Amino acid sequence: MSLIEVSRVTKDYLDGKTVIQALRGVDLSIEKGEFSAVAGPSGSGKTTLLNLIGGLDQPTGGSIHLDGIELSVLKPRQLHEMRLHHIGFVFQAYNLIPVLTARENVEFTMLLQGVAPRERKARALEMLEEVGLADEANRRPPAMSGGQQQRVAVARAIVTKPGIVLADEPTANLDSTTGAGLLDLMQNLNREYGVTFLFSTHDPMVMEYSRRLIRLRDGQIKSDETRST
């Protein structure tokens, strides 16, 4: 069974009296351990698709299964628990808590999970070392570069060992050198820990790094290419 199963998914938005079809009958399977990207121009539906897979929004039609569980039948509390324990998120705008240190930001999801303080701290420090920020553990996001903040966001996303990490335009606010470093990091985490990554992007560099490239246009999958490694 695939980790993610998207079946005949549609998503409509109402803009005044006009119905906008963001997704039009999308079928997609994501296997464990993939390092894949959904690519397309602005308005193609790629961010909408990631939000649906992450349970941040509900489809208008069709179904999405994560590890065999259909997301649309879950109650809000169950959906929250699914996101908390099984999905890691990396957002374009980092979404770090500015008053918390890097270590405290990485600890935050574990805090919600009820992990004991000593274990939280040890795991957060270990993950910050993994992403090359061991010396920045006590700095707060406003005092860090964009690349450092995105690495903290990646550390926070993977410290709980989720089934999948969803990364929405992770390189959009980074220069090419910093973006390449971040992609190298995520690629290593994918290979070392088997973390499944699914990106949404229009960045050619992210497309080049990805082992599978799914192209969306006008809410439909136009091509799906897996490359040899």
pTM above 0.95, yes or no: no
What single-letter amino acid sits at 109?
Answer: T
For residue 21, pLDDT beyond 70:
yes
For residue 1, pLDDT beyond 80:
no
- Confidence bin at 165 (pLDDT 50/70/90): very high
Q: Which two tokens stand for residue 141?
A: 């996001």
pLDDT for 69-101, tens place per residue? 999 899 999 999 999 989 999 887 888 999 999
Looking at residues 136-147, what average pLDDT do you find? Answer: 93
What residues contact 121, with CB distance under 8 A and at least 6 apart? Answer: 103, 107
Looking at residue 23, its pLDDT comes to: 95
Q: Which two tokens stand for residue 130?
A: 């993994």
Q: What is the mean pLDDT of the chain?
A: 91
- Confidence bin at 15 (pLDDT 50/70/90): confident
What is the residue extent of each domain of the chain?
Answer: 32-60+69-226
CATH number attached to the domain at 32-60+69-226: 3.40.50.300
Burial of 210 (0-12, 13-18, 19+ CB in 10 A): buried
Q: Which two tokens stand for residue 121?
A: 């701290």
